[in-house]
Amino acid sequence: MAVLAASLAVATLLAYKLLLVSGYAGLDDTLLRERQRFERSIDSIVERVDARGRSRGRTLEVAVREYLRLAPPTETYLTAVRLGDRVYTANQGPTELRPLRSAGDIPFGPPGRLQTISSPAGDLRSLSANVALGGEDIAVFEVLGPVERIHSRTLRALQGLALAALISLAIGGAVLFLALRRTLTPLRDLAATARVTELASLGSRVPEPRTGDEVGSLAREFNTMLARLERAAESQREFMATVSHELRTPITIARGHIETLETIGLHDPGSVSETAAVVREELMRMGRLVEDLMALARSETEGFIRPARLELPAFLAELELRLTGLAVEGVRVGEAPDVAIAADGERLAQALLNLVVNADVHTPPGTSVMVTSRMQDGWAVFAVLDDGPGMDDVIRRDAFSAFVTGGDGAAGGSTGLGLAVVRAVAEGHGGDVALESGTAGTAVTLRIPAQGAGTALTPAATALQRGLNA
């Protein structure tokens, strides 16, 4: 409304100024035409009067009188000629100038240009010119027009413009108010929904208008956001419930065995050793679960993957040492290509260790597990293969989701997060992971872009790797 009012005010003032300028221009044109008519007419009159042999002054006086007598009456301007000490004026003229004409107090401005001069009758627009006869200036011609009429006429027009602007402002304001009220209704609904929406209750929705404007788009996007938040909250609740269940089981088992240990005391070394082994195993399971949970939580952050130069022979040699500490049997690590790549060695090792632990947990005793690596078309490809009985189709479909475990794996210490962490690590590197399983065994392949790959290792590094393998 303020912008609309300011715009109308500026438009009204501009129109007033234009009308005022137009009024002055019209008066100036009239004065110029009158001077031109005087110049054309006075010469012919002087020639006719001069034929009688009068003096120049007398000739011009007679010519001026005759011109003023023949001048048409008008209320726009007054024509005057000053000849010596006398001033001759037309019989008719603007009403405002009649007192000046009667008193013989006609003001004359400098000859040659249009100008505004002051007088007892108010401001006047004046155009003066010298009148020459025989090459000598002996009189001054002037035509005067009052400007008060222009101002009065323009002021009346301004009043009409102001009234029209006020009416337009009132109508425009009413239309604007109704339009905004109707348009912003979805925003008020959105604000009301946002006030009552809480994390525990995300089922509220905003009424979506049928319009295709920005407000309607905002309402639809807000409802879409609420739906996403509702799904995320539900997923979070399920995730926390599953985490609580997964942590509660090993904690309960460890607590029970500790209570048993307190009961039997230290008199039965065999029972103490067995109980300590169970507690240690459950604590390791909890440690793996917490580590995997932290990896999944950090996978959404920017610093989850920190690439650095990674020499594949040394990396796989260290991985083999870490597998020894996990007490898994039947695992072999193949030879690595003699290259270095840019990757996060800690995250990559975590993914491969998870794959080995999964293969060990989900396969029967005596199953062999193989870890291989190779370079292929600009990718570093790592694979963990086993010759076990394969995975069930139902489990294989959701294998990379969190907390998906097989029956044997759940009982054997699997957290159900291993493959989810593997996928997070692969995607964090900009790669992917694939799973193939059948009666001949299971193969999980992890590919990452080999940024900085192709850098061959020095002979010394290669010899060191072979020594570590030996």
Interval 59-116: pLDDT, tens: 788 888 888 888 887 888 998 898 888 888 888 788 888 888 888 788 888 887 888 8
Pick the CATH number of 306-469 from 3.40.640.10, 3.10.580.10, 3.40.50.150, 3.30.565.10: 3.30.565.10
More confidently predicted of 466 and 174: 174
The Cα–Cα gap between 114 and 78 comes to: 15
Q: Which residues contact 60 (CB under 8 A, 6 or more apart)?
A: 46, 83, 131, 133, 138, 139
Task: Return the H-helix or E-strand segment holding 468.
Answer: helix 459-469
- Residue-averaged pLDDT of the chain: 81
Helices (H), 265-299: 269-298
The predicted structure's pLDDT at residue 452 = 56
The predicted-structure confidence for 131-166, as pLDDT tens digits, reads as follows 887 777 788 999 999 999 899 999 999 999 999 999
Phi, psi of 132 (to 5 degrees): -110, 145
For strands 339-343 and 308-311, give the pairing: antiparallel
Q: Is the pLDDT of residue 330 over 60?
A: yes
DSSP string for residues in 33-59: HHHHHHHHHHHHHHHHHHTT---HHHH
pLDDT (0 to 100) of residue 50:
63
């979805």: which residue's tokens? 186
**pLDDT tens for residues 338-387?**
999 999 999 999 899 989 988 888 888 888 999 999 999 889 999 999 99
Token readout for 118 is 């002051």
**Among the listed residues 217, 185, 221, the one whose alpha carbon sits nearest the alpha carbon of residue 205:** 221
Q: Count, in order, helices (H) and strands (E) of the chain.
A: 13, 13
pLDDT at 21: 92
Instruction: For residue 438, give both structure tokens.
Output: 């059948």
**What pLDDT score was predicted for residue 455?**
52
| pLDDT exceeds 60 at position 468 | no
The DSSP bridge pattern shows strands 136-146 and 124-133 to be antiparallel
Q: Is 274 exposed, middle or buried (0-12, 13-18, 19+ CB in 10 A)?
A: middle
When mean pLDDT is compared across 10-19, 319-328, 447-456, the lowest value belongs to 447-456
Residues of the chain with CATH 3.30.565.10: 306-469
Residue 137, strand partner residues: 132
CA distance 413 to 409: 6
Calculate helix-pair angle for 148-183, 2-50, nearest 10 degrees: 160
Residue 461 pLDDT: 43
Say what the pLDDT of residue 456 is.
53
Q: Quick one: pLDDT band at residue 442, thresholds 50, 70, 90?
A: very high
pLDDT number for residue 408 = 47
pTM recorded for the entire structure: 0.47
* Strand pairing category for 331-333 and 114-117: unpaired
Residue type, 441: G
Residue 70: its pLDDT value, please? Answer: 81
3-state DSSP call for residue 371?
strand
% residues pLDDT > 90 (the chain): 24
Distance of alpha carbon 79 from alpha carbon 2, whole angstroms? 50
Longest dimension (CA), the chain: 164
Contact predicate 186/206, CB 8 Å? yes
Question: Which band of pLDDT confidence, cut at 50, 70 and 90, is reported for residue 458?
Answer: very low
Pick from 172, 91, 71, 82: nearest CA to 129: 82
Q: Top-level CATH class of 214-295?
A: mainly alpha
CA distances from 58 to 46, 66, 108, 170, 221 (A): 10, 12, 22, 68, 96
Which residues 6+ apart lie within 8 Å of 193 measured at CB?
204, 205, 206, 222, 226
Burial of 427 (0-12, 13-18, 19+ CB in 10 A): middle
- Quick check: 463 pLDDT over 70? no
pLDDT tens for 392-439 read 877 777 777 766 665 444 444 455 677 888 888 999 899 999 999 888
Task: Quote the pLDDT of residue 54.
Answer: 57
Q: Are 363 and 382 in contact (CB under 8 A)?
A: no
β-bridge mates for residue 447, sequence order: 381, 432
> Please, where in the chain does CATH 1.10.287.130 lie?
214-295
Using DSSP's 3-state secondary structure scheme, residue 442 falls into strand
Token pair, residue 337, equals: 């290509």
CATH 3.30.450 in the chain is located at: 2-154
Q: How far apart are CA 312 and CA 343, in angstroms?
A: 10
8 A C-beta contact, residue 445 and residue 400: no
Alpha-carbon distances of 254 from 241, 249, 286, 418, rounded to whole Å: 20, 9, 10, 22
Torsion over CA: 348, 350, 352, 355 (sign): negative
- Confidence grade of residue 462 (pLDDT, cut at 50, 70, 90): very low
Q: Which two tokens mark 419? A: 């493959």
The pair of three-digit structure tokens given for residue 175, joined into one six-digit string: 């239309």
Most confidently modeled range among 171-175, 218-222, 276-280, 453-457:
171-175
What's the burial of 40, exposed, middle or buried (CB within 10 Å: 0-12/13-18/19+)? exposed
Helices 148-183, 185-196: inter-axial angle, 10-degree rounding:
40
| CATH number of this structure's domain 2-154 | 3.30.450
Q: Does residue 392 come out as left (phi exceeding 0), alpha (psi in the -120 to 50 range) or beta? A: beta
What are 20-63's pLDDT values in tens digits? 999 999 999 999 998 888 888 887 777 776 655 556 667 788 88
Query: How is residue 104 written in tokens?
Result: 């013989």
> Cα–Cα distance between 426 and 445 in angstroms, integer?
10
Residue 199: the pLDDT is 67
